[in-house]
Amino acid sequence: MIRTLLSVGALTLTGLQPAPAHAPLPQDSSTVKNERFGFSFRAPKSWASVAMKTDEGWLASKHLSNKEYFGTDKTTGYTYSHVPEMLCIAFVHANQERKKVVEEESEDGVTTKTTTISNPYKDYEDFLERTYAGGGWYVDSKEKGKHGKIEVTRYSVKVEKLARSGPKRIITWIYHAPDIDFVLQTEVLEGEYKKLRSTIEKSLKSFKLIERSGELLPTGASTPGGIRITRRELTEGTPKERRSKRVESQKIKHEKAIKALPKDWDHQYRGKVLVLDHDQDKWAKKLGDHADLLIEWMNKELSYFGEGEYMRAPILRVCNDSEEEGAFTRGTRTGTTGSYTYVAPGSEIVTHKPDTGWIGGEVDWVNGKLLEQWLLDRNEDAARAMPEWLRIGIVIHVRGARRDGRKLEFRVNEYAREGARLAVSQGRATAPRTIMSQTREEFSSGAGGAGTFSKSAEAAQLVRFLLSKEGARCKQAKKLLETYVTTLTEVVDEIKEKDKGSVNVGDAPKTEEEEDARGKERAERWRQGEQDMVREVFERTFADWSEKDWESFTKAYFKFIS
């Protein structure tokens, strides 16, 4: 499983984890019954019900086989594996979607009623296009018919270009109810389709419509009580107003996550962290306590980053194994702008107990996601504007954090340390004065392969030095990170204030989709104006430094990394 950390720049840090052995999931999911949507069916015997994301109201049910299947690519000899998965998706007809009507009275006394339609997909084929993009999918067959009195459309879809996971067959029946189209989709390896066909068809033929409860039909934007807090509300206003909205947003997210838990999942608070787990109570407690301590460390040691801002207590979801995690996380794909990924703050951190245990890369990845959420809540604009040396350096440092009792220890990244030492011994190490003045493009330009690794290693060691006891003993380094981040924040705020004049009030985003698009546009503007920003931050930070200061700082830094 490839993990991506803090995608705020062109270079993304990843950690490749070995795939753990597949452990059987809980047995017998029994009959699936959803009175809110009004349907029931029998999932395949021994397939487990999988937890669903709290923002996937359109996804009514998800199930995962208790057996893993394997195949081999005849051309490359590569062996791939796959666990069959079944989804039940509800496409609520737009003209029938039951929404809470919002009444608003304007200044002239006229009252208007507003409803919001927020189904994330137009239809099933739009779901296929966005979920299997790049997979070479095509409809092998499509036919209309009846299932009892229900009109149905039957699909057979093939996905052939996802080489690392093997060619797949998707069998789908769409049940056309009066107000909702129910999609029951099963995905299996092509080579296993004949063996599993009867199992799949038993479930498809068991589908029934039942009486609905009358509850509000959930959608991607629905929240308890119909409350919706926009990202704009979370980032604008006074610190006190932002804190109030973030606390409210945190409460809504936590309540939704707990309410949506399957029966065999548990939840508990470890400090401020809400931990949800599936048969991993001991590991979940340990990881939750560690996450709470890491947040406490960031609040104290990096307090100058977004000082006074409130970070929403994260949700840490611990799945039973990597297959369950994969089934949980699959859904809509995140859009990107070039190599800049827009990451929404406040998302759940989804993980599992790995075979590598406490010292492995899975904990590294969780650390990176906690850092990412902390930075984005404290100051999203400054977090996305961080130059490459700071972004890479702080990620690598925090990834190494491990709780030991009530203390936090930071393991040294040996690859980064040895890479920096090698660069120094070979006389190709980058002077800190140079690396701290570089844009992302300059940081990575002309440095392919070992060169890129060397720069990243040096960035990691530079940040480690600035946070170390040795750095605290160096006059020039003692408060340098705080000064640099404070200056970065000031420059970013000035640019943001200047940008306000170019955006009309009428252009303010009105939906989550528009807010996401605005976020992507803003990230692109940061990229384009980065050179001026980095130069300005550097000049202000080091305005009072003499050549002697640079010599002393450089000498102490090279001594530290050597």
Locate all alpha helices (DSSP H) within 142-216, ordered by sequence. 193-205
Residue position matching structure tokens 């809470």: 100
d(CA 279, CA 320): 6
pLDDT tens figures, 217-270 = 654 333 334 445 666 777 777 878 888 888 888 888 898 889 888 888 999 999
Non-local CB neighbours of 74 within 8 Å, separated by 6+ positions: none
Q: Quick one: average pLDDT of 159-184?
A: 86
User: Exposed (0-12), middle (13-18) or buried (19+): which is 496, by Cβ within 10 Å?
Assistant: middle
Per-residue confidence at 352, pLDDT binned at 50, 70, 90?
very high
d(CA 509, CA 484): 32
Beta strand 168-176 pairing with 180-189: antiparallel
Share of the chain above pLDDT 90, in %: 41
Tally of domains in the chain: 1
Does a structural domain hold residue 230?
A: no
DSSP 207-273: -EE-----PPPP-TT--GGG----HHHHHSS-HHHHHHHHHHHHHHHHHHHHHT--TT-EEEEETTE
CATH of the domain at 137: 3.40.1000.10
Q: To 10 degrees, what angle do helices 547-561 and 450-466 make?
A: 110
Does a structural domain hold residue 525?
A: no
pLDDT tens figures, 31-77 = 899 888 899 999 998 888 887 766 666 778 888 888 889 988 877 78
With contact defined as beta carbons under 8 Å apart, do 157 and 139 qualify? Answer: yes
Residue position matching structure tokens 């009514």: 60
Q: Quick one: average pLDDT of 290-314?
A: 93
**Per-residue confidence (pLDDT) for residue 218, from 0 to 100:** 54
d(CA 50, CA 262): 7
Structural domain range at position 68:
27-104+113-222
**Per-residue confidence (pLDDT) for residue 530, from 0 to 100:** 83
**Per-residue confidence (pLDDT) for residue 336, from 0 to 100:** 29
**Per-residue confidence (pLDDT) for residue 217, from 0 to 100:** 66
Tell me which of 333-347, 452-466, 515-529 is least confident: 333-347
Q: 495 is written with which tokens? A: 């640019």
**Per-residue confidence (pLDDT) for residue 326, from 0 to 100:** 79
Does a structural domain hold residue 366?
A: no
Tell me which of 209-223, 373-387, 410-424, 432-446 is least confident: 209-223
Does a structural domain hold residue 534?
A: no
Q: 177 is written with which tokens? A: 């109810």
Q: What is the C-alpha radius of gyration for the chain, rounded to an integer number of angstroms?
A: 26
Identify any residues that bridge with 143 across adjacent strands, giving them in sequence order.
154
| 327-358 CB burial, b ≥16 within 10 A, e <16 | bbebbbeeeeeeebbbbebbbbbbbbbbeeee
Residue position matching structure tokens 């690396």: 435
d(CA 399, CA 322): 20
Is 0.85 surpassed by the pTM of this model? no
Does a structural domain hold residue 335?
A: no
Higher model confidence: residue 7 or residue 179? 179
Q: Residue 528, Cα to own-chain centre: how many angstroms?
A: 25
Does a structural domain hold residue 243?
A: no
Task: Check whether 163 has a pLDDT greater than 70.
Answer: no
d(CA 560, CA 44): 60
**Per-residue confidence (pLDDT) for residue 54, from 0 to 100:** 63
